[in-house]
Amino acid sequence: MSDATTRIKDTITANDVVLFMKGTKEMPQCGFSSRVAGVLNYMGVTYSDVNVLADEEIRQGIKDFSDWPTIPQLYVKGEFVGGCDIITEMTLSGELDTLFEENGVAYDKDAADKIREANG
């Protein structure tokens, strides 16, 4: 097992919600990462952000680990959830709320409802 794989596994095991992204949650470096971080931030989700631009080994390693070609990538309770399009769809359909509820992840339900109202 590579060092990157070990670090990825340790990160997703130690944190309930992890977003592998370009940039940080305070300063996203691409539109897709910004969209997912924005949803999580707006919904008040506590999550760990991993800036793949700061570590080439993690940048490629996370794609291999998930067998998913793009970044950002969201993990909840150690499970890969998806990238920007999937998270956007799940947010609008309410599936993301359900996922958080089933996994005991705190979030602001009113904020989630406001996102749906604004995009409905």
Residues 39 and 15 sit within 8 Å (Cβ to Cβ):
no
Q: What is the CATH number of domain 3-115?
A: 3.40.30.10
Across the range 38-55, mean pLDDT stands at 98
Q: Is 73's pLDDT higher than 80?
A: yes
- Per-residue model confidence (pLDDT) at position 1: 61
31's CB contacts (< 8 A; 6+ apart) are none
Q: CA-based angle 116:86:28, to the nearest 5?
A: 85
Report the predicted TM-score, pTM, of the whole model to 2 decimal places.
0.96
Report d(CA 85, CA 91) in Å as an integer. Answer: 10
Tell me the domain boundaries of the chain: 3-115
Give the whole-number percent of the chain exceeding pLDDT 90: 98
